[in-house]
Structure formats: C-alpha cells, structure tokens
C-alpha cells in the first residue's frame, strides 16, 4: 500500500491529521458565527489552505510520483483533482474535509495491514534474539543472527532453541507444541535434528548449528507467510485490473457531467448552465468513485484469512491457494504419516491355549531384540518396563523376507511371517494368513505358539477429520497407500472413506491422481507427508503437506503446510478459505452498492461533497473492520 501519510510515521501522520482537523473546525466555527475578519475572501482562502496542506501535500506528492511512473488514474489523483476543484469553486471546507477524511481512512488501512503482519510475525517468530555459544573454554551470549553454522550452542531447561541444529547430548526432551501442536514432549537423541522454537524441558543440552538464523525452517515459514500476499487470488487480480479501467472511466464520466450540460445549453435555450454547480457535481462523482475501498479491503481480507490460518497451525503460501481450497470437492490422502502416525504398535496378542499372552510377547520380543526391523522394534518397545529383562538367545539367524531363527534354553524359536512357518513345515490356523494387518507368528520347538498383530496407529483426530471433511461438503475422499490392499480397504471401511487403493508405488499414486484430474469436474487436493509425495503434491490443484515444517520438499512443493500434523486441520483450512471468500464478496458487494447509490445521487445533484467523502471513507472503514474480524473468529 502506498503511504499516503508522508514518511509513514504514525505519530507524524496523526499530528498532521490533528492539525488539519483543528484548523478546519475553527474555520467552520468562524464562518458560522459571522466573524468579520473571516468575511475577507483572501483570509478565508489562506486559512483553509493552511488547513489543507498538512493532509493534502502527502497525497499530492503520491499522485505526482504515480504520474511520473505513468500511473495517471489512481485514487491519489482523484482526491487531488476533487480537492483542488473544490477550492477553485470556493468550497474550501469541503476541499479540506475530502482530503482529511481520506487521510484518516488511509491511516486506518495502513494500521490494519501492519497489525495483521505484526500479529502473524509475533505468532510465528518465536526464536530468541540471543544465544549462548560455546567458544573456547567458556560460553558467550551473542545475537542469534551472529552464530555461525558449525558452532555449538547451549540451551538450558525452559529456554527456546534459537537455531536449527543436531543434538550433541546423548538425548534431550523438547516441547514442540509451538511448531507441531503436540502436547507430549518429544525425546530427541544424539545426532537427530532439533528446530528453532522448540523448548528444552528436562536438561541442559548442546546443539551443533546446521542453518544460519535467517535460514531456519521457522524463518522460511515466517517469510513464506508474510510474503503470501504476493501470490494474488483471482478476486484480487480482477479488482486491480478492474481499477485500471474503472478509474479512467469514472474520471471521463465526471468530465462529461460538467461538459454535457454546457453542450445542452446551446441546444435548449431555456436551460440555464451554471459551471460551478455542474463542476461541484463532477467533483462529488470523483470523490465517491475512488476505488481505494476495493483495492485495499480485498487483499486485506485474504491476508486476514492467512493470519487466521496461521493461528491454527495452517500455513498458506498465497491468497490464491486460500481461494483455490474453497473449490475443492475431492480430497486424496496418503495413509502413512497422514491418517496414521507412521509408527508400528502391537495391536493384539493371540497365543495358543496354555500359553499366557505375556509369555508369548516376552518370547517374541527376546528374539526380536536381535533385529533392527521397525516391526521388531515395535514389539520390543511394547514390553512393560517392569518386565523388560531379556535372556540372550544364541545361534541367531535372520532369514531374508521371512523372519528370525534362534535358540534359547535348549529350544528352537522361530519368529516371522507365514513364509517362515511354511518353510519349516509348521502347521498353524489357516485364518491367520487372512488377517490383513501385519502378523508375527511364533513357533517353539516346531510347534505353533501363536501370533502378534502389529499395525500402524491412527492419529488421534483422524476419524474426526473424515467426518468434518464430509461436513464441509467434500463428498469424494480417496486414500492411496503402498500398504497391502486388504489393510487399506479395512481402514477405509472403518473411517468412511469412499475409495481406497493399496499396493501403490509412487508412480502408481501419480496415475491415480491423473485419473481423477481427467474429470474436469474434480477439483483435487492431495494430502501427504511432504517428503516422498512431491510429484502428487505438485500436480494437484491444492497440495497439502502434513507436519512438513522441517521438510524442504513440503515448503517448496506444497501449497499449504499443516504444521500441527493433524488431519483435522484440513477441513479447518477449507472453512477458513470459505469464510475469507465470503468476507471478500461482502466487501465487493458493499463497496459497489454504496458507491453506485451515491454516484447516482451525486450526478443528480442530491449529494454533497460531505456526503460523498463520508460514504467513501465509511465504506473503506467498514470493509477494513469486516476483513480483520476473521483474525478473531474461532474455527
């Protein structure tokens, strides 16, 4: 937004407005009371000219600079012509009032935009300004932006991590709620990544810096959101193009309002043409036609939506995506990492008769301690801490694609899938082979002992997310996964997902998405983890990355980043988009409606400059307040 208030300082702008207001009020009082000194035309002109200069000069300066840039028809030019014209016909108070109230409106607009940016900046930029750096034998406190990559920093309990890095301590616990929304502290081990904004919760830890202060994941997200208005929504692009046509048209109409009656006076001898009267009507027409309410309130509405989304942990890369998400009718979702946590856990333990569940779990876990497979780690971690002691199996042999063979206490133990038991000719219930989830079977001394079901865990709000998507009008929900079709189909049935496709490689996901997009009626959003879903994120109408704060792929490829890693934020993003669009449409309708009415009244001589300026500024302020209320709305 151009700074109509001179050097941009609010204090200076307010002083100018106050000075102009006081002089205008005193002038009106002196005129109304009939003070003899004020009856002198030159004294009246000088007084109101002094009242005009504090608010008029900055606007005229903007108009001049715009003209030098070949932007002749703009709101500054309109205000300049209108006020100079008012002085020309002797309507000094109206000339001052037009510029005064216009400046007040612009000041409100500037403050609204800056407040929105400041709110978002405060919300996201939670990095400490100073950092404790290990240098030599001591610790120095320096500005975070002066810390170099490769240096070691120290973070005490309760302090925020100022820069991205890797943990040098054996392990440390961090509160990540400001970044991910997770209420449970995360334990981060040696050489694992920690991000700026996290809070150390249990011990002093040392971190090796991997990115400069200005390039941390949080800094990139902050810059992305604050610059999001550079990617314009269609409504913004239309209004700006419209204003380029609208402004010269209304300027021409204002000229015609003055000229046509003069021409008519030559045709109709009985028609009395008074130049000052028709010039006044043209000036009223110019004031009310100023497009600033439209040009400012629409982008402000979208920026308010981006700010409201940021408060919810939803980061839009541009107002065009905020607009695009309102048109989505098909949501395609990855399974692992999006609907599920991507973490395996023991779901069921089914031993044969005579073997307790705890004994089967202990036996399998003891053997699985010899494997690094994620399923093996899930089984070991499921053991109660009070019963975590394991014996040491011998003659351990891992069978590729099947499982593990081992001996313990003179017994041969097999732990693995159905192929392992088939290979060793061990009979087991046929129904076990039909279980869709991952099953780990166990045999002791060539006798089947039971099985353990291990499966990925649903996120806490997955079911709520699917219900909410249906509630916001998404009728077509599709799940894509590399998991077995049986697992994917079962999960889809439990969640109420319309279609589900399993056994997919990355190129298979692309094919399924292309098939959906072949139908022009489908507006598709793809939701993935932002790490291995780059192609489908890029080709969808709206790409949404889950928990992608630390992922460069998510930031670069996705259009929307859900930093809280909650699928329920997807319908929230759609609701915010629809609310923003509704507010923008309200602003457009209100501005056009009021302006059209007063334009007609002004052309007919039934509206004065006072009414015109109050209508214009009033519409601008209403649009501003309507735009920023989304920041306080609960979703």
The CATH number assigned to the domain with range 341-458 reads: 3.40.1110.10
Residue holding tokens 């692009």?
237
Q: 119, 562, 114: which is closest to 308 by C-alpha?
A: 119
For CA atoms 161, 165, 168, 171, the dihedral sign is positive
Note whether 73 and 29 are within 8 A (CB): no
Active site residues: 334
Q: What is the pLDDT of residues 44-95, one digit of tens each?
A: 899 999 999 999 998 888 888 878 887 776 677 777 887 888 788 888 888 8
For residue 471, what pLDDT is reported? 94
Q: What is the pLDDT of residues 182-240, one digit of tens each?
A: 545 778 888 888 888 888 888 889 999 999 988 876 676 666 655 554 555 565 566 66
Tell me if the domain spanning 130-213 has CATH number 2.70.150.10. Answer: yes
Q: What is the pLDDT of residues 559-606, one digit of tens each?
A: 888 877 889 999 999 999 999 999 988 888 887 788 788 778 876 777
Q: What is the pLDDT of residues 526-538, one digit of tens each?
A: 998 755 576 788 7
Segment 492-506 shows an average pLDDT of 87
**E-assigned strand segments in 238-373:** 314-316, 330-334, 340-351
Which position has the higher pLDDT, 48 or 310?
A: 48
> How far is it, in rounded angstroms, from Cα 622 to Cα 109?
11
Q: Could you tell me the CA-to-CA distances from 276 to 81, 86, 290 in Å, in that order?
A: 15, 9, 21
Instruction: Check whether 442 has a pLDDT greater than 90.
Output: yes
Q: 417, 457, 245: which is closest to 336 by C-alpha?
A: 457
**Assigned token pair, 519:** 């139908």
Segment 123-149 shows an average pLDDT of 83
Residue holding tokens 């035309």?
41
Q: 40, 45, 41, 47: which is closest to 19 by C-alpha?
A: 47
Domain locations in the chain as residue ranges: 10-121+228-302+579-632, 130-213, 341-458
Segment 29-34 shows an average pLDDT of 86
Q: 581, 472, 126, 461: which is closest to 310 by C-alpha?
A: 126
- Any idea what DSSP says for residue 567? T
């Amino acid at each position: 937004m151009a700074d109509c208030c001179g050097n941009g300082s609010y204090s200076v702008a307010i002083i100018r407005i106050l000075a102009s207001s006081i002089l205008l009020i005193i002038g009106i009082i002196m005129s109304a009371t009939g003070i003899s000194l004020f009856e002198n035309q030159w004294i009246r002109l000088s007084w109101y000219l002094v009242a005009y200069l504090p608010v008029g000069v900055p606007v005229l300066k903007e108009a001049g600079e715009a003209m030098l840039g070949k932007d002749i028809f703009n709101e500054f030019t309109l205000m300049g012509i209108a006020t100079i014209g008012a002085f020309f016909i002797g309507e000094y108070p109206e000339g001052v009032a037009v510029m005064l109230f216009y400046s007040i409106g612009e000041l409100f607009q500037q403050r609204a935009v800056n407040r929105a940016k400041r709110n978002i900046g405060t919300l996201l930029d939670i990095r400490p300004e100073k950092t404790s750096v290990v240098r030599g034998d001591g610790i120095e406190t320096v500005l975070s932006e002066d810390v170099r990559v490769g240096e070691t920093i120290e973070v005490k309990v309760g302090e925020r991590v100022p820069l991205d890095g890797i943990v040098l301590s054996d392990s440390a616990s961090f509160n990540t709620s400001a970044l991910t929304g997770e209420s449970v502290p995360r334990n981060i081990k040696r050489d694992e990544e920690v991000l700026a904004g996290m809070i150390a919760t249990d011990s002093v830890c040392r971190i090796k810096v991997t990115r400069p202060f200005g390039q941390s994941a949080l800094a990139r997200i902050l810059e992305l959101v604050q610059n999001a208005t550079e990617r314009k929504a269609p409504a913004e692009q239309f209004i700006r193009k419209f204003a380029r046509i609208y402004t010269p048209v209304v300027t021409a109409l204002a000229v015609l309002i003055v000229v046509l009656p003069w021409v008519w006076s030559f045709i109709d001898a009985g028609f009395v043409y008074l130049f000052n009267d028709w010039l006044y009507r043209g000036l009223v027409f110019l004031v009310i036609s100023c497009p600033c309410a439209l040009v400012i309130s629409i982008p402000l509405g979208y920026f308010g939506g981006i700010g409201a989304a940021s408060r919810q942990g939803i980061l839009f890369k541009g107002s065009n995506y905020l607009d695009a998400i309102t048109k989505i009718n098909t949501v395609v979702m990855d399974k692992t990492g999006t609907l599920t946590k991507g973490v395996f856990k023991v779901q069921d333990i089914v031993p044969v008769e005579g073997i307790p569940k705890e004994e089967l779990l202990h036996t399998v876990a003891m053997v699985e301690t010899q494997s690094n497979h994620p399923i093996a780690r899930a089984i070991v971690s499921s053991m109660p801490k009070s019963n975590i002691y394991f014996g040491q199996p011998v003659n351990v042999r891992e069978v590729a694609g099947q499982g593990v063979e081992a001996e313990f206490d003179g017994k041969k133990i097999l732990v693995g899938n159905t192929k392992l038991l088939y290979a060793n000719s061990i009979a087991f219930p046929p129904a076990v082979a039909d279980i869709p989830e991952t099953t780990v079977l166990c045999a002791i001394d060539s006798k089947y002992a039971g099985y353990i079901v291990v499966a990925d865990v649903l996120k806490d709000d997955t079911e709520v997310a699917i219900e909410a998507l249906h509630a916001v009008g998404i009728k077509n929900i599709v799940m894509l996964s590399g998991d077995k079709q049986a697992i994917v189909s079962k999960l889809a049935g439990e969640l109420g997902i319309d279609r589900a496709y399993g056994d997919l490689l990355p190129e298979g996901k692309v094919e399924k998405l292309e098939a959906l997009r072949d139908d022009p009626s489908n507006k598709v959003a793809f939701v993935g983890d932002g790490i291995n879903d780059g192609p489908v994120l890029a080709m969808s109408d709206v790409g949404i990355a889950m928990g992608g704060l630390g992922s460069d792929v998510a930031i670069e490829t996705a259009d929307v980043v859900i930093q809280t890693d909650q699928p329920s934020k997807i319908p929230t993003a759609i609701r915010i988009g629809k609310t923003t669009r509704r507010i923008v449409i309200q602003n457009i309708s209100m501005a056009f409606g009021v302006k059209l009415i007063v334009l007609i009244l002004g052309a007919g001589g039934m509206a004065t400059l006072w009414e015109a300026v109050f209508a214009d500024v009033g519409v601008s302020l209403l649009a501003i307040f309507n735009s920023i209320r989304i920041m306080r709305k609960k979703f």
